[in-house]
Structure 1
């Protein structure tokens, strides 16, 4: 073997060793022994954290006083603490009160005097006024019911030049805004969400994901023959997996995207306006086992004060972020104990409780806030509402409960920044490793010092200038006198 060949082999071995080390580091520090709670530091390391939510009870159809749930696929919260469960296997919607007792069951509706039922519905949405929109997947339609369960309209397969002639309409998820526009996530649609007007007429697609390309696969396609390329899978955008809508009409969407943005916030034009000002982009777990792959976000729920939570189907964890994109807390996992899941499919916030629906077990796990979770949530709400003094106080308390939460110090820094306490703000930003916040606070503090001491500085400069001129004049006069004597 030549010297050149040996060097090449050595370089390849070193590169492979580096990749193996990276792969082994791509797990949290306690990968084999999970803690009850954890978060990620500003450096991207997994650190222990108190539990923000703890499981308090389980709810299934039988325990709620009716028939057991069979492969439920979605749940929604409504006014008065009511909870709607889409019991897909039984083709019905079960309405529960705040104590999870059954109020009524919707198994169908009347259409032109005829009784019709649902067929394997996969998603639904309940508006603020109690109207229900059902993605009736088996019947290839969206059913719009009023708060009493009476039919308002049906959205069926649309006809449009934007759709292929053989397009099969299979709605999976649905939401609606206050003006009556309906947005549908349909199977096999890669152009984004289908938008329908209040009259049920299809108008356009919004929010399409970008095409994700594997560099190695792209290179192979460039080098392959025409016959080989014809057998390859075409590059297509990533499908969305779940979405929700807030009170202002912004759509929060989750997808299984690996290289793009797995979480988006879409405006009316379909542009992504999600803020990603945290230490890292909102994406679920940062560290993971390479054999299992990254988080697969299956559902998203928008809460108050711009907070939102996403559900990871791969690990059973719930990740909650604030409006700036900071990770607040993580809870839940797969398993067979209370607070763990088999096949998590949907998440919903109801007041101060979090609900997670398990499709395989046919049950809802109810989580209640701990002191830590309640304090952090209230701190986030206070900051969002502009109550900086209250926010700083609550973030201080949060930091005392969890010294590993870098965001708490950043929260204190932001609250102090709004109170114009730039010096203290800069110190907290420095502690939280928030470079952008520190730079802003430092510059404002420097300007504040300049304004405070400007008159003294200018007076000093003027006096120094006068002293310089006088000294120079005296020296010149003395020099002339000496010169005159010598002469």
Structure 2
């Protein structure tokens, strides 16, 4: 009985344990499913490149991951180091599955169609790294391991192979190791050969050598230039040849232009070459490790960066728009890249991206926001502004911080004759040129409608001013100004007179002590003029957000050079037996800034009524102002210290050098002071952490 009771108890414990285990699995299943859902919907980090502020701004996703292909679900064999992708005429995807020595073809939906080069025989591939399919379905493979180009028919059967072409123009030690390739409309092959600094190797459809195309230029640094200039020919022959870098990948757009990538170093070169080999991008050298690029049917260019693990999109004019995706070395999630190798774009502007370390291929599909964003840019660049309007309205509705949408809406408003609306939108886009076009038309309309009335008012004011001249003069004389204000007014008149007659003015200034109130008012006027130039200059002359002005920094950068000049000029002149005292140098330097006030006020006012083409007048006035100030500083040095012309010139140059030394010394001392402060602060934190106080 006791034995049976024990067995019954054990059975109940076992059943209870099984029930708890099943309950745990049931409860854990939703948690795991939720975790998988979170991983499958990781938001891509999308950054918008603002062309006016040069900032990168986080914005809504323009792409999302809609599918991940591993190869196992389509071919029964998982991908092993997929190295190249190509999208064919019908959006079928060709994959250079390097580690499995094969080319895999998938249809537009990602289903397996056929495999190339896996069977034994002449068509057997060995570590293929590039693939291309022409409009007839013929597949060309950079059969890297076999050092050849293999060609297959549309049904997958092997047709022929191209080895190293026979040509006297090819060096004997030219190693034919194909890495990537494209084929033009006439059947000509353009092949990236490993470490081939000569450029892309060209072959005709018969495999005959036709030359090189799109070679890079050698980088000539300073040392190489000096060697070329001073070394003998014998010494130069012993030097290692300065070879241009070799292209590492290429693609071809619908117009037959070639996209070439030169990577492998700290920077990468991205080129868009026409038939003549001219780079339409103007030579983009990027801080990136580009590995592949593709162009869609609307001429958007997509570049894949292995170092950052992201994709950058360029508009049809070559300006970078956005980048998305990101690098990960942790647990892989959809949308994350670990070691990206290739990308390809289909007719829907969907992106297939291969990752050879994760052995997966991801399909990036545009979001609704991305569809509106890219459609708006495409219509805008092509000049179809009206068609782009609903796209930009939708973009603005989702994100009102994207300046390019306001630029496009401004262009639309301008073409529709809504000039005030165009000015508003262009201002939000920080586009001074577009704003000026709208402003020109608004100003023209204002002049035509109000000019007679304005002219009449000005005439009445002028007549009244002339008729009341004697009365105003008498009234002015009756005013009893306090002594300090009267003295300040007299000093300010002397400052204006000094502008026109600097030698006379500085000689008079040397013989007197200017009250501190007068100097303070003069410096305050200069500061006020600076503030006016910062906050009141017209948008066309200063297309910036006034709210982002760092006032402290601006004033320091404006006043510190003047203060440093006062100190440095006095020190240098004292060493050189100058007669000026510090007070004389300081007050003369303050009076030398008067042209800044005199010129800045009309320049700021005029900047609000002049169009962009007329701003050159303001540039001239500003240049004249700085030249005038420099002349006054020079004359001041000559008069205050009683130097002749050459002594003054030497003193001015020495003062400039002294100013630079003072700034360097100040920067060094600031750094040391910060380090000392940080040292004691860390000690203080350590003491607090250990509870010693």
Alignment of 1:14-93 (within 5 A): 36-41=45-50, 42-93=52-103
Residue 180 (structure 1) aligned to one of 181, 187, 196: 187
Equivalent-residue separation in structure 2 for 1:259 and 1:405 (angstroms): 31
Residue 237 (structure 1) aligned to one of 234, 241, 244: 244
Q: Paired residue for 2:114?
A: 104
User: Would you say the 8 A contact 1:383–1:415 is kept in 2?
Assistant: no
**Over residues 89-141 of structure 1, what are the superposed CA-to-partner deviations in whole Å (9 max), with x where a residue is unaligned?**
1111111123322121112589xxx6431111111112233221111112222
Q: Which moved more, 1:390-399 or 1:405-414?
A: 405-414
Equivalent-residue separation in structure 1 for 2:407 and 2:268 (angstroms): 24
Question: Which ranges of structure 1 fall in alignment gaps of 5 or more residues?
Answer: 1-33, 285-293, 465-487
Equivalent-residue separation in structure 2 for 1:95 and 1:35 (angstroms): 28
| Structure having the higher Rg | 2
| RCO higher in structure (CA 8 A, sep ≥6) | 1
Aligned residues: 408
- 1:339 positional shift: 1.2
The reply on whether 1:363 has 2:360 as its aligned counterpart is yes
Residue 215 (structure 2) aligned to one of 208, 215, 218: 208
Find the residue that maps to 1:320 and give its secondary structure: strand
Find the residue that maps to 2:175 and give its secondary structure: coil
Residue 402 (structure 1) aligned to one of 390, 399, 406: 399
- 1:455 positional shift: 9.5
Higher-strand-fraction structure:
1
Residue 439 (structure 1) aligned to one of 433, 447, 453: 433
Alignment of 1:26-425 (within 5 A): 36-41=45-50, 42-107=52-117, 115-215=122-222, 234-256=241-263, 262-274=269-281, 294-335=287-328, 336-350=332-346, 351-384=348-381, 386-416=383-413, 424-425=421-422
Q: Structure 1 residues 119, 392: closer, same or farther in 2, change over 3 A?
A: same
Find the residue that maps to 1:248 and give its secondary structure: coil
Equivalent-residue separation in structure 2 for 1:119 and 1:257 (angstroms): 24
Equivalent-residue separation in structure 2 for 1:326 and 1:116 (angstroms): 43
TM-score scaled by structure 1? 0.73
Equivalent-residue separation in structure 1 for 2:212 and 2:139 (angstroms): 22
User: Would you say the 8 A contact 2:44–2:326 is kept in 1?
Assistant: no
Equivalent-residue separation in structure 1 for 2:264 and 2:404 (angstroms): 26
Equivalent-residue separation in structure 1 for 2:298 and 2:433 (angstroms): 26
User: Would you say the 8 A contact 1:305–1:380 is kept in 2?
Assistant: no
Equivalent-residue separation in structure 1 for 2:268 and 2:341 (angstroms): 21
Higher-helix-fraction structure:
2
Question: Which ranges of structure 2 fall in alignment gaps of 5 or more residues?
Answer: 1-42, 457-693
Q: Structure 1 residues 134, 402: closer, same or farther in 2, change over 3 A?
A: same
Equivalent-residue separation in structure 1 for 2:64 and 2:194 (angstroms): 35
TM-score scaled by structure 2? 0.53
Equivalent-residue separation in structure 2 for 1:402 and 1:282 (angstroms): 29
Q: Which moved more, 1:34-43 or 1:244-253?
A: 34-43
Q: Structure 1 residues 429, 242: closer, same or farther in 2, change over 3 A?
A: farther
Equivalent-residue separation in structure 2 for 1:348 and 1:123 (angstroms): 12
Equivalent-residue separation in structure 2 for 1:158 and 1:388 (angstroms): 51
- 1:270 positional shift: 1.0
User: Would you say the 8 A contact 2:254–2:297 is kept in 1?
Assistant: no
Equivalent-residue separation in structure 1 for 2:112 and 2:264 (angstroms): 38
Find the residue that maps to 1:63 and give its secondary structure: helix
Q: Structure 1 residues 427, 159: closer, same or farther in 2, change over 3 A?
A: farther
Equivalent-residue separation in structure 2 for 1:172 and 1:306 (angstroms): 25
User: Would you say the 8 A contact 1:122–1:136 is kept in 2?
Assistant: yes
CA RMSD of aligned residues (A): 3.6
